[in-house]
Amino acid sequence: MMMDKTTLVLGGARSGKSAYAESLLEGAPSLYLATGQALDGEMAERIDRHRRRRGPGWSTLEEPVDLSDALERVLRPDRPVLVDCLTMWISNLMQAGRDVERSLDHLCEVLANPAGPVVLVSNEIGLGLVPEGSLSRRFRDHQGTVNQRVAAICPRVVFVAAGLPLVLKDQ
């Protein structure tokens, strides 16, 4: 278990980033702060699959939009928090018409001096083609900004590909 540093875990879709992030907290009673919403059957199944994989040692808090406020409420030194994932959070903010930059500023304030250990999961989506539509391009741009700003704050950043972690930063 690694819990002395705030950690950002990046990776592509189905890369193993969530499982890797969970493995960092094995053996500790942890809180899973979920940003995903079961808006359809497929997403409900994904959420259920994640819950089964984590097992009973985890408690879960679902917060699709007000992530920073939730983190401020739940972070404490004796319980690590896993945020999964920042990508869904950005999508939720955009769908709700929220100010992404302002929300990101608040998250960075919380992460600059967290009240307890936190691991954050986020997709790296900037390695592919330029999206065709303007909404998709705005989403990609927001996601890239989120990843850069959170990575700058976190002492530890890990990129996961094919289930294999590659440490990008470890201060």
Question: Which pLDDT tens digit goes with each residue over 148-157?
Answer: 999 999 999 9
Supply φ then ψ for residue 77, to 5 degrees.
-60, -30
56 has pLDDT over 80: no
pLDDT tens figures, 12-52: 988 999 999 999 998 888 999 999 877 778 877 877 777 77
pLDDT at 111: 97
50 has catalytic annotation: yes
Q: Does the N-terminal peptide bond of residue 85 adopt cis geometry, omega within 30 degrees of 0?
A: yes
Averaged pLDDT for residues 141-160: 97
Residue ranges of domains in the chain, CATH in brackets: 7-170 (3.40.50.300)
Q: Which amino acid is at 55?
A: G
Answering whether pTM is above 0.85, one says: yes
When pLDDT is averaged across residues 66-73 and rounded to a whole number, the result is 97
Residues 170/155, Cβ–Cβ less than 8 Å:
yes
Give the pLDDT score at 1.
47
Question: Of these residues, 50, 54, 142, 156, which one is catalytic?
Answer: 50
Bridge partners for 123 per DSSP: 11
